[in-house]
């Protein structure tokens, strides 16, 4: 009888031990799952923090780059070409002239150039090309008049103020001209370019 009791007690002890082990395993498993979950949450927060920090640094660097670019003012380079456009109101001609930038104009900013050419309109400004425009109530200086001088056809240049200056005395005699052409020469034949001048002189040769 005592043996049976002993067996029963042993079984109870075994059952209690199994239950205890199961509970213990459950406890440690729960702790492990809890720690894993907490670690994942911490890792996620760290990742978000790093991402936000990187985004902030990236945006800051981008803004700094923009400020640097905006603050980098364009200036005239040594190989810059300046184009001067002049509209002569009396003859209606637009004349373009190109000039190489002078040493004193190198490294001028747009605002400094405006001050330097205060009576000009700035139409274009880049480090390598500048376009300036102005209007003048004058002739362009590319006008000529053919008249008679000492029995020959003479070419006079008409300057910006309409003043006539002898440019060339041709060897074309006026005594062989037809009456109509002779009358034109006496009144003066005005031409508006060197090309037109050459063509008109050739017509009398």
Residue, of 28 and 91, whose pLDDT is higher: 91
| pLDDT beyond 60 at 134 | yes
Question: Residue 178 pLDDT more than 80?
Answer: yes
pLDDT at 130: 95
Q: Which is nearest to 107 in space by CA: 68, 78, 69?
A: 78
Summarised one tens digit per residue, pLDDT across range 25-56 is 776 666 766 666 666 665 665 555 545 554 54
Higher-pLDDT residue of 182 and 162 is 182
Q: Place 68 in a pLDDT band, splitting at 50, 70 and 90.
A: very low
Q: Kindly indicate the confidence band of residue 119, based on its pLDDT and cuts at 50, 70 and 90.
A: very high
pLDDT at residue 72, as a whole number = 67
β 129-136/81-88 pair status? parallel
Cα gap 90→160, rounded to integer Å: 9
| Percent of the chain scoring above 90 in pLDDT | 34
Between 52 and 197, where is the model more confident? 197
Question: Which of 15-29, 120-134, 188-202 is the least confident region?
Answer: 15-29
Radius of gyration of the CA atoms of the chain, in A: 49
Beta-carbon neighbour count of residue 151 at 10 Å? Answer: 9
| Helix or strand run (H / E) with residue 158 | strand 152-158
Q: What is the dihedral of CA 100, 105, 108, 113, to 10 degrees?
A: -80
pLDDT of amino acid 43: 61
User: Higher confidence at residue 184 or residue 63?
Assistant: 184
The three-class DSSP label of residue 184 is helix
- Report domain extents, the chain: 1-72, 81-136, 143-204
CA distance 163 to 160: 7
Distance CA 47, CA 53 (A): 10
Class in CATH terms, 81-136 = alpha beta
Which residues sit opposite 121 in a β-bridge? 133
| DSSP structure class, residue 79 | T
| Of residues 121, 125, 166, 122, the one with CA closest to residue 147 | 166
Which pLDDT belongs to residue 141? 78
């Amino acid at each position: 009888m005592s043996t049976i009791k002993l067996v029963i007690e042993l079984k109870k002890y075994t059952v209690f031990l199994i239950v205890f082990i199961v509970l213990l395993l459950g406890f440690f498993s729960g702790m492990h799952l809890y720690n894993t979950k907490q670690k994942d949450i911490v890792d996620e927060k760290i990742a978000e923090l790093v991402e936000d920090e990187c985004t902030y640094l990236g945006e800051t660097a981008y803004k700094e780059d923009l400020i640097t670019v905006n603050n980098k003012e364009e200036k005239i380079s040594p190989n810059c070409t300046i184009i001067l456009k002049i509209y002569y109101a009396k003859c209606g001609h637009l004349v373009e002239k190109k000039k190489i930038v002078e040493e004193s104009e190198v490294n001028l900013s747009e605002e400094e150039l405006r001050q330097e050419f205060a009576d000009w309109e700035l139409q274009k400004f880049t480090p390598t090309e500048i376009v300036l425009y102005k209007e003048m109530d004058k002739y362009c200086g590319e006008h000529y008049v053919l008249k008679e001088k000492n029995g020959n056809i003479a070419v006079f240049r008409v300057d910006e103020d309409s003043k006539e200056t002898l440019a060339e005395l041709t060897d074309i005699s006026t005594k062989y001209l037809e009456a109509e052409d002779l009358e034109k020469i006496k009144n003066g034949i005005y031409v508006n370019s060197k090309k037109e001048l050459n063509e008109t002189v050739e017509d009398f040769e």
